[in-house]
Structure 1
Amino acid sequence: MNAKYLKLAVLTLVLLAVGAAGGYWWANHAQISPSPAKTASSPAQAERKPLYWYDPMVPQQHFDKPGKSPFMDMALIPKYADDSGNKAEAGSVKIDPRVVQNLGMRTASVTRGSLTPKLEATGVLAFNERDVSIVQARAAGFVERVFARAPGDVVAAGSPLVSLLVPEWSGAQQEFLALKKSGDAGLMDAARQRMQVLGMPSQLIQQVERSGVPHPVVTVSFPMSGVIRELDVRAGMTVTSGQTLAKVNGLGTVWLDVAVPEALAQQIRVGQSAQARLPALPGEVIQGRVTDILPEANLDTRTLKVRVELPNKHGHLRPGLTAQVQLADSNQQSVLLVPTEAIIRTGKGAMVMVAESGGHYRPVEVQTGAEAGGQTAVLSGLSEGQKVVTSGQFLIDSDASLQGIFAAADAPDTSADAAPAPAPPQAPTPVALHEAEGRIVGIGKSKVTIDSGPFKTLNMPAMTMRFPLANTHLIHGFKVGDKVRVGVRQTDSGLVIERLEKNGGAK
């Protein structure tokens, strides 16, 4: 029995020795002759080698190994070797197509078209003060009857207002009738002219001549349709020649007095079309036009009064009602247009990222104009047909800033026979600002300490740091504890605050 167990133990040891030898042979051959599949994948798995590490706050300072920044509480950022090839010769950056696809970057073409900015404002309906009629007494007399009228009544043209007894007219009419019986035509003409001079209406003179009897009582009527604004006559009273009896305002058209902010005064012109919408008439749009821009501004609201004339065919527009009015500029001009989302607002202007061939992107300074319907007019800096980035442009701008590429004014002239423009004077090159939100925790003479959120365009985390101010006036009106939005510019000596705004409004 012992011999049997001895043989089994010896066999086990032999098998273990053979397995170890086989494993050693396999390991050596596997290292010397790797499989084609692994050989092909090894370059793709090679790790990128950083050139150096740096602090975005002090980008000119390079470090040989990773670690914590000596300038602030954050980790150093690696600068890879292949990043140095992203800078193009023409002041642009080159982005790998796979990165473009992963980021979901979108572009749009610069087009030419008409931009019709529309201005929304509130107005109040009022009477058309040019459509007014005054009813007066032509001669002295006595009021015998006042028809049932009151201020605010709507009357039709020719409606009776008052019956007047004019004694002076009675004598002139009797004299005319006596001369008529005599048959002397010359004397009759003289008597007729005397009645006209006394203010007798021609209809009354003809009535006296036809009837042959005097008519000392005359009925005064409204000369036009409209609403009675004033009524100054009562039964039994005595009136004098030229005394005002009533004032009538027409309702064929009404005025809409619109309050326009003084900052938008340049967008208003006489003759502009207007669309009014009234809460009292839901779903109805009334077309009108600007007739006047009053010369005096309201000192309390800092607005100009713009007068819009609206037709009132059915009489539904009543003075005193409010309306929302939309003013459109009918003088449409062809301009270059880009999506508003493509504009990058900087501390000194605006810029866009122009997409070029070969995956290159170039920052270009632009001068913007009016904005409407998600489109912005570009006055200079671009030409028709160029491609601008509408999504992801802030990441490209951040990469360009790190590489020292900034936007420069570029206004191409596409006309064939255009003369070369003189070179503009040299001006400081505007740069894109890196923005973050935060809270002021300390204020000095030329520096401010901010507990800020992350600067996404710089790939910097949230931190508390003391920033120098580009201008000491930036901190005027701020206090410790204010929530702010800060815009910083990257310089050789670090980040400098160029813009400081309160969250509730710009400072």
Structure 2
Amino acid sequence: MSRTNKVITIIVLAVLIGSGAWYFFAPSHTMSMTADMHHGGADHDSSEQRNVLYWHDPMVPGQRFDKPGPSPFMDMQLVPVYADDSDTSEGVSISAQTQQNLGIRTTVVRMGEISKEAVVQGNVVWNEHAIDVISARATGFIERLYVRAAMEAVKQGQALAEIYVPDWIAVQEEYLLTRDLGGEIGQQLKSGALLRMRVAGMTDSQIAEVVRDGKVHARVTIRAPRSGVLSELNVRAGETVSLGMPLFRISGLNPIWLEANVPESLISSLNLGDTVEVMTVARKNQRYPGKVALLPPEIDQVTRAQRVRIELANPRAELLPGMFASLVIKQNSVADALLVPTEAIITTGSRKIVFTVNDDGKFNPNTITAGLESDTETEVLSGLSAGQNVVTSGQFLVDSEASLKGVMSRMQESAP
């Protein structure tokens, strides 16, 4: 067979094989396409039977579209939201595992007392009404000194020093010589001797001691008139003292004072004799009761504040002069208020939202009206009721989940 005949034979066989393949496979392919078209049409018909509310981008759930198409925010198609989807108005469902991962905690809405407080900084100072200065009543010599240094604690009646007073010897001896004299002249001499002892600087108790014992007392023991701190010590043993010389200064610690500059805006919240509270960092913010002791009729022209004095009981000397302390001023108070932790509230512009937990475990956003607010709690005027469980930790993540599922947008639509 020639070369030309072989080529022709191969071409003819190829055409026959191709024709046969088309004959056997083309009908089934056509039927498959037809079936696929019918199947796709069924799916389309099924989709059309579901009522589409709107289309949205799951990454930006707040924005809605009335027809399908590409998302203007992300490189993806818009997703339809159907009317027969699960009813999100009943809340957001979050699995227990997810709640644990998010660290979600809840607490119960309760009834209780709340007050609005203002805090003003101040300083603990000495109580000037509890300061005693002990001076020499006559010229003499310090024979014994029982206290050694300033700022030592002393108790009422404690001996501080013993002073020898030579000038008292003569007047006491004069009295002892005249006390047994009778008659009118004797009484006059005795009265004059008693008067001269008093003029010499002797106290009534010291004079009574001489009269009782019938002997000269040239030494006098000086004792502390109150309990407190020896804030000044001006003498040493063996030193000569003169009439009127300051020897000791004793400052009491109970009660003690707090002075604070109260701004003009808070002055109306204080009245003389009002009960207030004071706390200090040095005592781990423990609160001490006190009362308003002075509201001076003056406002500082620079600070625009009034220098208020608070008197505090200090039996254990826990408050010391020089300490920084805070004056707590209660402005308003509600005895029976509906309270939630302040951390449970999400503020979005002019609205405040709290997430509650239903009996079925779903989370619901609730718009509330807030009243008084303290450091840890807030009064709820409307939007909640006592006994409800509210989310106090992880509520921002719950809020994000609610936004993804459209709960927040539904709530905004229903809001007036």
- Provide the TM-score with structure 2 as the length reference: 0.59
Check if 1:336 corresponds to 2:333.
no
1:10 to 9, 16, 20: 16
Q: 1:346 to 1:14 in 2, by over 3 A?
A: closer
Cα distance in 2, alignment partners of residues 363 and 205 from structure 1: 83
* Superposition deviation, residue 259 in structure 1: 5.3
Aligned to 1:173: 172
Aligned to 1:429: none
Provide, for residues 412-457 of structure 1, a one-character-per-residue CA deviation record: whole Å limited to 9, x for no partner. xxxxxxxxxxxxxxxxxxxxxxxxxxxxxxxxxxxxxxxxxxxxxx
Q: Read off the aligned partner of 1:309 and give its amino acid letter.
A: L
Structure 2 gap ranges (5+):
56-62, 73-77
Q: Does the aligned pair in 2 maintain the 1:256–1:310 contact within 8 Å?
A: no
Cα distance in 2, alignment partners of residues 123 and 227 from structure 1: 22
2:386 to 384, 387, 394: 384
Aligned to 2:152: 154
Superposed CA RMSD in Å reads 5.8
Cα distance in 2, alignment partners of residues 44 and 264 from structure 1: 67
1:201 to 196, 200, 203: 203
Q: 1:291 to 1:35 in 2, by over 3 A?
A: same
Q: How does 1:127-142 map to 2 (within 5 A)?
A: 127-136=126-135, 141-142=138-139
Q: Read off the aligned partner of 2:47 and give its amino acid letter.
A: P
Check if 1:366 corresponds to 2:369.
yes
Cα distance in 1, alignment partners of residues 47 and 29 from structure 2: 28
* Superposition deviation, residue 245 in structure 1: 5.2
Aligned to 1:501: none
Cα distance in 2, alignment partners of residues 325 and 273 from structure 1: 8
Aligned to 2:280: 276
Cα distance in 2, alignment partners of residues 308 and 13 from structure 1: 114
Q: Does the aligned pair in 2 maintain the 1:291–1:308 contact within 8 Å?
A: yes
Q: How does 1:70-149 map to 2 (within 5 A)?
A: 95-96=88-89, 110-115=109-114, 122-136=121-135, 141-145=138-142
Larger helix proportion, structure 1 or 2?
2
Cα distance in 1, alignment partners of residues 284 and 366 from structure 2: 47
Cα distance in 2, alignment partners of residues 177 and 134 from structure 1: 32
Q: Does the aligned pair in 2 maintain the 1:338–1:377 contact within 8 Å?
A: yes
Identity of aligned residues (%): 19
Q: Read off the aligned partner of 1:239 and give its amino acid letter.
A: L
Cα distance in 2, alignment partners of residues 382 and 22 from structure 1: 67
Cα distance in 2, alignment partners of residues 130 and 342 from structure 1: 48
What secondary structure, in the 3-state scheme, does the structure 1 residue paired with 2:129 have?
coil
Q: How does 1:390-405 map to 2 (within 5 A)?
A: 391-392=398-399, 403=413, 405=415
* Superposition deviation, residue 40 in structure 1: 10
What is the number of equivalent residue pairs in this alignment?
364
Q: Read off the aligned partner of 2:347 and give its amino acid letter.
A: I
Q: Read off the aligned partner of 1:18 and give its amino acid letter.
A: F
Structure 1 gap ranges (5+):
52-58, 70-77, 87-93, 407-507
Q: Read off the aligned partner of 2:139 and give its amino acid letter.
A: F
Q: Does the aligned pair in 1 maintain the 2:276–2:329 contact within 8 Å?
A: yes
Aligned to 2:32: 26
Q: Does the aligned pair in 2 maintain the 1:164–1:219 contact within 8 Å?
A: no
Q: Read off the aligned partner of 2:281 and give its amino acid letter.
A: R
* Superposition deviation, residue 299 in structure 1: 5.0
- Provide the TM-score with structure 1 as the length reference: 0.51
* Superposition deviation, residue 369 in structure 1: 0.6
Q: Read off the aligned partner of 2:291 and give its amino acid letter.
A: T
Cα distance in 2, alignment partners of residues 195 and 41 from structure 1: 127
What secondary structure, in the 3-state scheme, does the structure 1 residue paired with 2:112 have?
strand
Aligned to 2:60: none
Q: Does the aligned pair in 2 maintain the 1:125–1:317 contact within 8 Å?
A: yes
* Superposition deviation, residue 376 in structure 1: 0.9
Cα distance in 2, alignment partners of residues 101 and 225 from structure 1: 66
Q: Does the aligned pair in 2 maintain the 1:287–1:310 contact within 8 Å?
A: no
Aligned to 2:290: 290
Q: Mean alpha-carbon deviation: is it higher for 7-16 or for 193-202?
A: 193-202
Aligned to 1:247: 249
Q: Does the aligned pair in 1 maintain the 2:172–2:197 contact within 8 Å?
A: no
Q: 1:227 to 1:31 in 2, by over 3 A?
A: closer
Q: Read off the aligned partner of 1:23 and give its amino acid letter.
A: H
Cα distance in 1, alignment partners of residues 160 and 40 from structure 2: 114
Q: How does 1:213-362 map to 2 (within 5 A)?
A: 213-215=215-217, 218-229=220-231, 238-239=242-243, 246-251=248-253, 254-258=256-260, 266=269, 270-278=274-282, 288-292=288-292, 294-296=294-296, 300-301=302-303, 305=308, 307=310, 309=312, 311=314, 313=316, 318-320=320-322, 322-323=323-324, 325=326, 327=328, 333-340=335-342, 341-342=344-345, 344=347, 346=349, 351-352=352-353
